[in-house]
Amino acid sequence: MIPIARPLISDEEKQAVLQVLESGMLAQGPTVEAFERAFAELCGVDHAVATSSGTTALHVALLAHGIGPGDEVITTPFTFIATANAILYVGAKPVFVDIDPATFNIDPSLIEVAITSRTKAILPVHLFGLPADLDLILEIAEQYGLPVIEDACQAHGATYGDRCVGSFGTGCFSFYPTKNMTSAEGGMITTDAAALADYCREVRQHGMRRRYYHDRLGYNFRMTDVHAAIGLAQLQKLNGFNQARRANATYLSQHLRDVTTPTTPAGRTHVYHQYTVRVPDAQRDIVLDGLRAQGVSAGVYYPVPIHRQHLYRDLGYDDHLPNAERAAHEVLSLPVHPALTGEDLKRIVNAVNGLVGQRRQDVQGSCDWRGGDGTAPRARV
């Protein structure tokens, strides 16, 4: 089976972990600090604050911007649920703005009408590794005096113009094993603002500025030195990993037929956390099953947009966001990770082209992508 994701762990990571284990300094210590410095350098920012996950990075970043009950945060409905849940954790309300169907990222032309007196931040996601439309987002944010919190959990090393994502607003990254680089679990907040970084360091460690003096409510959102050691070793390889992902994506785009391949607007570098195509005419799930049967593990990110998840329906969300809903029915992510061989890439292309071509003849426009109201089937409890 060709997996949809595969972390590449080799001797460097193993040696680095062993060194930490032998040092006796296992909790947040010097290796976390070294990882923070190196990651800040990658992003071209003054400060990076490591956390236990991308979710906790988002949670702390929202707190650092003073966001809480009664506030609204504008974000995308087409992302991993952690983006929106972090807004709920601080007691604020996610306000969903539909996506640009070409990039799957938040459509900046729809942001302004969603702004109210309660709006306290804009939280774009650089989905699948493609930077969101930052020029327009930053322009609106400046006009309304709103901070931008970038969910860059899928976009390590992606650039917009000549700068890395995570350097435009307050950046939040994840090092979950499927990501472009991993620390097994972990997260990072990036910023140029020293006071904001200090606040984040306090909140991730029980609101503690001085040992056992607690000025505010905090959490245990620390990263361990064991995780940081893996992260540091992976960071040295990130550039090579991203180049391999881009080369794989180029091959796929050159050889796939009858599916809509990803686009990269000028001036942005896509790092292909996912290589996501659109499969037309309600064939997506059939193609997905067919690929699995042929030994290609593809994925659907995401089958249900957040406003259609039961959690959010139960909170009273009844938005109709047609581009996100349509994408949820059509997207299919194919393996693009750096461990793929040339033979793997050929197998993926042949399998997709065979399945889509065959299905195209079978269905010939007989189906509509709108199935029911698009809400996920509820799990039985």
Ligand X SMILES: Cc1ncc(COP(=O)(O)O)c(C=O)c1O
Binding residues vs ligand X (CB under 6 A): 53-55, 79-80, 82-83, 125, 151, 153-154, 174, 176, 187
Residue 1, classified by CB atoms within 10 Å of its CB into exposed (0-12), middle (13-18) or buried (19+), is exposed
Between CA 145 and CA 110, with CA 120 as vertex, the angle to 5 degrees is: 80
Active-site annotation, residues: 179
Cβ(149)–Cβ(190) below 8 Å = no
Nearer to ligand X among residue 82 and residue 232 (C-beta): 82
Token pair recorded at residue 73: 């945060």
Nearer to ligand X among residue 51 and residue 191 (C-beta): 51
Report how far residue 89's alpha carbon sits from residue 91's, in angstroms, rounded to the nearest whole number: 5
Strands 72-75 and 208-210 turn out to be unpaired
Nearer to ligand X among residue 81 and residue 208 (C-beta): 81
Nearest distance from residue 62's CB to ligand X, in Å? 12
Nearest distance from residue 24's CB to ligand X, in Å? 27
Report how far residue 9's alpha carbon sits from residue 229's, in angstroms, rounded to the nearest whole number: 12
Nearest distance from residue 372's CB to ligand X, in Å? 26
Nearest distance from residue 69's CB to ligand X, in Å? 22
Nearer to ligand X among residue 75 and residue 191 (C-beta): 75
Smallest CA-to-CA distance from 276 within 99, 81, 42 is with 99
Report how far residue 135's alpha carbon sits from residue 168's, in angstroms, rounded to the nearest whole number: 10
Nearest distance from residue 179's CB to ligand X, in Å? 7
> What phi and psi, each to the nearest 5 degrees, are found at residue 283?
-95, -10
Nearer to ligand X among residue 128 and residue 251 (C-beta): 128
Integer angstrom CA distances of residue 329 from 31, 171, 281, 284, 286: 43, 29, 10, 7, 12
Tell me how far the alpha carbon of residue 273 is from its chain's centroid.
Answer: 8
Nearer to ligand X among residue 125 and residue 232 (C-beta): 125
Integer angstrom CA distances of residue 169 from 57, 176, 253: 14, 22, 31
DSSP 169: T
Nearest distance from residue 52's CB to ligand X, in Å? 8
Nearer to ligand X among residue 176 and residue 199 (C-beta): 176
Report how far residue 48's alpha carbon sits from residue 251's, in angstroms, rounded to the nearest whole number: 35
Nearest distance from residue 82's CB to ligand X, in Å? 4
Smallest CA-to-CA distance from 312 within 115, 81, 104 is with 81
Closest CB to ligand X: residue number = 54
> What phi and psi, each to the nearest 5 degrees, are found at residue 201?
-60, -35
DSSP 260: B
